[in-house]
Structure formats: structure tokens, C-alpha cells
Amino acid sequence: MFVAQRRNKIKEQLLQEKSVKVAELVKTFNVSEETIRRDLNQLEREGLIQKSYGGAVLVDDIQQISVSIPPVQQRKFEHFEEKNVIGRRAAELVGENQIVIIDSGSTTWCVASHLKSREGLVAVTNGINIAEELMENEATHIFLLGGKMIKKSMSLVGPVAEAELQHYNADYVFMGTTGISLRIGFTSSDIYEAGIKRAMVAAGQKVVVVADHTKFQAQALIAYSAFKDVDILITSSLADPIILAEVRKLGVQVIVCDVI
């Protein structure tokens, strides 16, 4: 198991159980105590835990908000290192004074976090959390689409938002995805979110899907885009290389980010 995978598993356990024991993690992952302590040191640096005798506990602030924040915010903690390197690489595609459309989601939030310093950025999004992240740069021009809010994803969807998108022509569109199917393409679990995703794909000169490795194992209800409509897929070295080879054969440029 890669270091990033193990640390993600530890984070998931912390979010569920609020605490972990070094001895139990050593048995679970079949690694040394020293290795687990290095993992916990890293999580402490990230501000997620407070180390205790023989283990660690989730910091109070995160314990308090984890029961009330929307699922999309909670997902930022899942596979964070992987999503963060994917988001950083995606942001590198964007130059100064360019227009981007950013889909709602946790991985696209990482894209937004690395775009905050881009000069002259114009951003269109249906994600409330994405708009909030981009607001930290007062010089960024942000257009938040209107529509019905889906609380679990902090996204705005519906015919009003889809109609608005017809007026935009973006240099890049950054899309999240619930699943990736070699048979039907990129998928969503919500019919309304699939609708706005289709409208976003149609509004971009370059369509970029950002996806961590788990999306290749997921199946969702509705396809929102075929491979032929996507220019670039950015994922990580944790993704199955055999599947990535098949995606390349379908005409999509695949960028793989290293995750240690």
C-alpha cells in the first residue's frame, strides 16, 4: 500500500471513530510503529489530529463540524493528498486572464484552491464552496450560477443554471465525476447534476476531468459526457494503468500525478 493510501485510510478511520491507537494501526496496515508515528506526525502538521499517549484524536474543531458540514466538505478529507496534487496539476494548465468554469465537488475545490493566485482569472461555478474559496483573491471575477441548491454537494442546478451556461465560452472547464466507465464515459449519481455537467462540457474550449483513483471503481446512474467530449483526464499514480491505457485509446489525454 502506498503512503498516501495508508494515510487516507487513517483519516477515514479518524472521521468515523474520532481516535486511533498506534498499536491497532500497526496491526491493520502491517507496518512498523515508527512508520505509523511518521503518518501521525504528518496528520498533526495538517492540523487534523492531536497526538495522545499511544495514539491520536481528531482535533475538537473538526469533531464539531464533521457532523454538520455538507458531505462535499467532508469529502475534502478523503484522499486529500491525492486530490490536492491533481488539483495543483490542473491549475497549472490555466494562464493569466483566462476564463474557467469549475464544477462543484471536492477535487474541483482543490483545483480552485490552486487557482486563487492566478492574475486576471474569471471563474464561473455552480459550487458555493468553490466560489467561497476563490473569494480569497479580491481580484478574481466570480460568476455564481443560479438555480436550485443541492445541500449535500453545495451545488446549484436546474434549467436556470443550464441556460446561463449557454452564454459562456470558457478556456477551460474543470469537471468532477462520480464514476468513470469505459462503456459509457463519465457519470453522475444525480440527474440534475448530470444536466448541468453536460451544459458545462458544452461551454468549454478544453474540457478537463479531475478524478482520484476511486472513481475508476465507481459506477453511477447517468452518463454526462462521452470520452470524445473530454480533452484531458487528470488522475494519480494510484489509478489502474490498464484502465488509463484504454482511456488513452479513446482519444483522451491522460495526465498522471505522482502520489508518494
pLDDT in tens, 21-70: 999 999 999 999 999 999 999 888 877 788 988 999 987 655 554 444 44
How far apart are alpha carbons 141 and 122 in whole angstroms? 5
- C-alpha 46/C-alpha 80 separation (Å) is 11
CA 36 to chain centre: 26
Structural domain count, the chain? 2
CATH of the domain at 92: 3.40.50.1360
Based on the fold, state whether residues 60 and 97 are members of the same structural domain. no
| Sign for the pseudo-dihedral over CA of 109, 114, 117, 120 | negative
Alpha helix ranges (H) inside the chain: 3-17, 22-29, 33-45, 60-66, 71-74, 80-91, 106-113, 128-134, 159-165, 191-202, 241-249
Domain CATH number, residue 38:
1.10.10.10
31 and 126 inside one domain:
no
Give the pLDDT of residue 87: 96
* Full-model pTM: 0.73
For helices 33-45 and 22-29, the axis angle rounded to 10 degrees is 110
User: Considering 42, 68, 94, which residue would you say is the last residue of a domain?
Assistant: 68
Structure confidence at residue 61 (pLDDT): 54
Per the structure, the complete domain to which residue 39 belongs is given by 3-68
Residue ranges of the chain whose pLDDT lies below 50: 65-70
Q: What is the pLDDT of residue 259?
A: 86
Q: How far apart are CA 165 and CA 196, in angstroms?
A: 8
Domain identity same for 78 and 166: yes
Rg of the Cα atoms in the chain: 19
Burial 56-68 (b: 16+ CB within 10 A, else e): bebeeebeeebee
